[in-house]
Structure 1
Amino acid sequence: MQISKEDLLLKANAASKNTLMETLSIEIVDFTEDTLTARMPVTPKVHQPDGVLHGGATAALAESVGSFASHIFINTDEFFVRGLEITANHLKSIKDGYIYAKASFLHRGRTTQLLDIRVTDEADNLISICRLSTISLPKKK
């Protein structure tokens, strides 16, 4: 029996309970063979004091979706994933609505992965471009 895409999304989001992803209301909304997409509401809890989206919240969304993408594309019985470096170029401000982060692999190696993460608003305007490198390390037996 094959599991449905909806069931996989439910399972993925259930794994975020009691994490930063839950705190920021980050939700995995789609995936393909090569990408993973998540969204986060832009509300006062992720604003800077002047009322626009905080770049740190954007970076947290980007790292969450990128790390999650690396995690689901490896054998988690044998390996675990950790972020190595994230960069974020913020291009546009936003005050409300949702932002979407779509992670795509630029490199999917056995040990290291490099992901391009485009953060857009609901109208597909580019908000930020991020790059995340992750490492897959063997679990100790």
Structure 2
Amino acid sequence: MIDSEGTKLFHTTMPFTEKLGVEVLEHGPELVRSRLAWQEDLCTLGGVLHGGVLMSLADATAAVSAFLNLPEGAQGTTTVESKTNFLRAIRSGYASATARPLHTGRRFIVVETEIHDDAGKLVGKTTQTQAVL
């Protein structure tokens, strides 16, 4: 089921996610889940969902996770480091991202995001550091 409040949060704070077609499934301080559908215009040759699209999904999902874990008085976050390992391709269906905070400090928030395909297989894993603004 689509989380319309979460989807609005993504699209309002990061309009690029609306262009990608990102839908939020769940959002809260401990867990943020989102997805996007395979689309031919988001692929490389051979119908493989582009790695940059998957990284964008992971980045946006982690950013909302960090935002929901901001310390009191903070204004927002910005990505200062992001590392992704790609493990398999997506050629149809959805890419689903699940982000969980690993560290929520006063200056940095570290979030780990996993991307899975429709079969539940791990497609990629991203570890990201967000600076607190």
In the TM superposition, 1:27-106 aligns within 5 A as 27-74=23-70, 78-106=74-102
Deviation at 1:123, TM superposition (A): 1.5
Could you tell which deviates more after superposition, 115-124 or 72-81?
72-81
Q: Work out which of the residue numbers 114, 126, 129 in structure 1 matches 2:110.
A: 114
Corresponding residue of 1:13? 7
Q: What RMSD in Å do the two structures reach over aligned CA positions?
A: 1.9
Deviation at 1:122, TM superposition (A): 1.5
Q: Structure 2 unaligned segments of length 5 or more: list them.
A: none
Aligned equivalents of 1:46 and 1:56: distance in 2?
A: 9
Q: Secondary structure at 2:129's aligned position in 1? A: strand
Does the CA contact (< 8 Å) of 2:42 and 2:53 recur in 1? Answer: yes
Deviation at 1:79, TM superposition (A): 1.5
AA paired with 1:14?
Answer: K
Q: Secondary structure at 1:79's aligned position in 2? A: coil
Deviation at 1:109, TM superposition (A): 0.8
Q: TM-score, normalised by structure 2?
A: 0.88
Identical columns (%): 22
Does the CA contact (< 8 Å) of 2:71 and 2:105 recur in 1? Answer: no
Corresponding residue of 2:129? 133
Deviation at 1:12, TM superposition (A): 2.5
Deviation at 1:128, TM superposition (A): 0.5
AA paired with 2:117?
Answer: D
Q: Secondary structure at 1:96's aligned position in 2? A: coil
Aligned equivalents of 1:57 and 1:76: distance in 2?
A: 32
How many correspondences in the alignment? 130
Deviation at 1:30, TM superposition (A): 1.2
Cα distance per residue 1:31-60 (max 9 Å; x no partner): 354111110111112111221011110000
Does the CA contact (< 8 Å) of 2:85 and 2:124 recur in 1? Answer: yes
Q: TM-score, normalised by structure 1?
A: 0.84
AA paired with 2:123?
Answer: I
Q: Which runs of 4+ in 1 moved over 6 A?
A: none
